[in-house]
C-alpha cells in the first residue's frame, strides 16, 4: 500500500491543475492506450481519456455508443502508462444524466477501477447539481460546456456556440454554474473566440480550450488529429504536428512488398540451428 501511495504522489493532482488558473498554460491531449500514454506523459499536464475513443478507436459515427466498460478499460490502460500526468476519464452518454446518484455510481466505478484522478462530464446549468453532488463526495469533476458531442442530436450537428448574444449568455452561464458547483476546470469546446476569452477572464477556475481561444488557461486536442493519423478530415481548430498516418501506410506497403517478394523474413530474422 505504501508503494502505491508514493507512486500516486508523483502525479499532478486536480488541485494543482486548478491552481494553474492564470499561470503557465495547461497542456492536455487525449490518450486511449498504455503506449500512447507513455509517449505523451512527459510532455502533458493532463491526459484525457475522452469518449472520442468511440470514433477514434472503434469507428463509431458519434460518441453515443461508448459504454462505461469501454471507458474503464481504456482509462485503466492510460493510468498504467502515465507516471506524472493528471488522468481524467469521460463519463459516457447515459451513465450520469439520469440522476446525481447514477452519476456517483458511474464515477465511483471509474475511479476505483482505473485509478484516475477525476471524471469529466458534459453539461452546464442543468448538470450543476450533479457536479456539486460528486465533488462533495470526493470525486473531482472537470466540466465540459459549449459544443457537447453527447448532445449532437439535440444541437443538430457539430456547431460552434456563442454566435448570438443569447448563445453567448447561455454558454457563459453554463461555465459559471459548473465552476460554482465545484468543477476544478472547465473545457470550452467550439466556443467563439471572444466569448471563450471573456469566460476565461471571469471564471475562478481554469478553462481548457478546444476550438475556443488562445486566452484559455490551457488547450486540449485529440491526439490522433495532432499526429495526422486521420487523412480524410482535419477540424479547423487542429494543427497537425506530424503525418503519422502516411508513414504507417507507407511502412505497411513496404512490408507487404517484402513479404510478397520473399525478402522478409531474411535469415537474420529466423531461428537457425547452430552448427555443431
The grid coordinates of residue 3 equal 508503494
Residue 143 DSSP SS3: strand
Residue 144 DSSP SS3: strand
Q: Are 223 and 53 in contact (CB under 8 A)?
A: no
Binding residues: 51-52, 90, 120, 122
- From 83, 126, 189, 254, the catalytic residue: 189
Q: Is 165 a catalytic residue?
A: no
Distance, CA of 254 to CA of 267 (rounded, Å): 18
Distance, CA of 73 to CA of 160 (rounded, Å): 31
Q: Are 107 and 119 in contact (CB under 8 A)?
A: yes
DSSP output for 64-91: TT--HHHHHHHHHHHHHH-SSSEEEEEP
Give the contacts of 155 (CB within 8 A, at least 6 positions apart).
Answer: 147, 148
Dihedral over alpha carbons 162, 180, 19, 75 (to 10 degrees) = -80
Name residue 213's beta-bridge partners. none
Return the closest-CA partner of residue 161 out of 142, 178, 144: 144
Looking up cell 475522452, which residue turns up? 50
Binding residues for 3-methyl-2-oxobutanoate: 51-52, 90, 120
Q: Are 185 and 208 in contact (CB under 8 A)?
A: yes
Active site residues: 189
Amino acid at each position: 500500500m505504501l508503494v502505491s501511495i508514493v507512486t500516486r504522489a508523483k502525479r499532478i493532482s486536480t488541485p494543482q491543475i486548478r491552481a494553474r488558473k492564470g499561470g503557465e498554460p495547461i497542456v492536455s491531449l487525449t490518450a486511449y492506450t498504455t503506449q500512447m500514454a507513455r509517449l505523451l506523459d512527459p510532455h502533458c499536464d493532463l491526459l484525457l481519456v475522452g469518449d472520442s475513443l468511440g470514433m477514434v478507436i472503434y469507428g463509431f459515427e458519434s460518441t453515443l455508443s461508448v459504454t462505461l466498460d469501454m471507458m474503464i478499460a481504456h482509462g485503466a490502460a492510460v493510468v498504467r502508462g502515465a507516471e506524472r500526468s493528471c488522468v481524467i476519464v469521460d463519463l459516457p452518454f447515459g451513465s450520469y444524466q439520469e440522476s446525481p446518484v447514477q452519476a456517483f455510481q458511474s464515477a465511483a466505478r471509474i475511479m476505483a477501477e482505473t485509478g484516475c484522478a477525476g471524471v469529466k462530464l458534459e453539461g452546464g446549468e442543468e448538470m450543476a447539481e450533479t457536479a456539486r453532488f460528486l465533488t462533495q463526495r470526493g470525486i473531482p469533476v472537470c466540466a465540459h460546456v459549449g459544443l457537447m458531442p453527447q448532445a449532437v442530436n439535440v444541437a443538430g450537428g457539430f456547431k460552434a456556440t456563442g454566435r448570438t448574444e443569447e448563445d453567448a449568455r447561455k454558454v457563459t452561464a453554463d461555465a459559471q454554474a459548473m465552476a460554482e458547483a465545484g468543477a476544478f476546470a472547465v473545457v470550452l469546446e467550439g466556443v467563439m473566440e471572444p466569448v471563450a476569452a471573456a469566460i476565461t477572464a471571469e471564471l475562478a477556475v481554469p478553462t481548457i480550450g478546444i476550438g475556443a481561444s488562445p486566452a484559455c488557461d490551457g488547450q486540449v486536442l485529440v491526439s490522433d488529429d495532432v499526429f495526422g493519423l486521420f487523412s480524410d478530415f482535419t477540424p479547423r481548430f487542429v494543427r497537425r504536428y506530424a503525418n503519422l498516418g502516411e508513414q504507417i501506410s507507407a511502412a505497411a506497403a513496404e512490408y507487404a512488398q517484402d513479404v510478397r517478394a520473399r525478402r522478409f523474413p531474411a535469415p537474420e530474422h529466423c531461428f537457425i540451428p547452430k552448427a555443431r
